[in-house]
Amino acid sequence: MVGDRRGFEIIQKALAEGRNFLMEDEAKALCKAYNIPTTEAKVAKSEDEAVKYAREIGYPVVLKVVSPDIIHKSDVGGVILNIDNDEKVKEAYSKIISNVKRHKPDAKIVGVIVQEMAQPSTEVIVGLIKDQQFGSTVMFGLGGVFVEILKDVSFRVCPITELDAKEMISEIKGYPILKGYRNLPPADIDAIVKILLNVSDMAMNHPEISEMDLNPILVYEKGAKVVDARVILAKS
Ligand code: ADP
Ligand code: MG
């Protein structure tokens, strides 16, 4: 399987560099290898390169720090959204570097990732954890407070079936929000089902993945897009 081989390469590269996690660009490349849609993204090493990539991707864009030492990027001022011209890309680039240097002076900065700004929409989360007893387990929930405060999430042990995926989505308390609520259009449930199945596939093929967070995934009336991805590795 192609996803299998490409995924193996991405994971082995990180492990060979002595890292126990994938940076956002690598985690998104892993998603791509499993047909999980993500925002188009490129890692820039200079302001000029960031402008070049922003033009290629098309405005508006998002810039974020890429660092093996930073897991929660917005906590260190490492995420700037909705940038709409060349000048602002340059400003955002240097702002991110200075924010990160101030909050976490020892962090190694690999570069700044430039990515398309996805249209705001309903946010969901798909996660993967390794249960001591049951092994790889996939998690689903709505984004933000629904997961963090209300713990409104569902779990299934991998590998999951299509029926499992559908049940995971419909059994959370927030399901009516996905079905369409007031002026919120219904979310593309099939797109979420596909992501859950592909994440399960990924977990079965790569036992080195000890934790994964696709947080958030923006879900639209048609389609869905992962805008942030984090993967923790363990030597298996
Ligand atoms: P963190 O490492 O802090 O979790 P994220 O990459 O998740 O950083 O960015 C923080 C928030 O910014 C996300 O939860 C999402 O709401 C928004 N965001 C991030 N990337 C994008 C993007 N490409 N398009 C639209 N919104 C984004
Ligand atoms: Mg995030």
pLDDT digits (tens, 9 = 90+) for 65-106: 999 888 889 999 999 999 999 999 999 999 999 999 999 999
Ligand nearest to the CA of 75: 1
pLDDT tens digits, residue range 25-49? 999 999 999 999 999 999 999 999 9
The string of DSSP codes covering 170-214 is HTSTTHHHHT-BTTBPPP-HHHHHHHHHHHHHHHHH-TTEEEEEE
pLDDT tens digits, residue range 111-129? 999 999 999 999 999 999 9
pLDDT tens digits, residue range 151-170? 899 999 999 999 999 999 99
Residue 9 confidence class, pLDDT cut points 50, 70, 90? very high
Structure tokens at 187: 């979310």
pLDDT at 1 over 70: no
Instruction: Give the whole-number percent of the chain exceeding pLDDT 70.
Output: 99
Supply the pLDDT for residue 148: 75
Give the other-Cβ count within 10 Å of 58's Cβ: 10
Which residues are bridge partners to 223 per DSSP?
A: none
Question: Which atom of ligand 1 sits closest to the CA of residue 144?
Answer: 14
Which of the residue ranges 51-55, 56-60, 147-151, 171-175 would you say has the lowest mean pLDDT? Answer: 147-151
Residue 2 confidence class, pLDDT cut points 50, 70, 90? low
pLDDT at 236 over 90: no
225 C-beta closer than 6 A to ligand 1:
no
pLDDT at 145 over 80: no
Question: What is the best residue among 227, 231, 232 to mutate for testing ligand 1's pocket, by most ligand atoms within 8 Å of CB?
Answer: 227
Which residues are bridge partners to 41 per DSSP?
A: 115
Q: 102 — alpha (psi -120 to 50), left (phi > 0) or beta?
A: alpha
Question: What is the best residue among 53, 72, 81 to mutate for testing ligand 1's pocket, by most ligand atoms within 8 Å of CB?
Answer: 81
216 C-beta closer than 6 A to ligand 1:
yes
d(CA 24, CA 74): 13
- From ligand 1's centre to the CA of 215, what distance in Å? 8
User: Are 155 and 138 contacting, i.e. CB atoms less than 8 angstroms apart?
Assistant: yes
- From ligand 1's centre to the CA of 42, what distance in Å? 15
- From ligand 1's centre to the CA of 187, what distance in Å? 19
- From ligand 1's centre to the CA of 227, what distance in Å? 6
Structure tokens at 114: 């430039």
Instruction: Tell me the average pLDDT across 138-157.
Output: 87
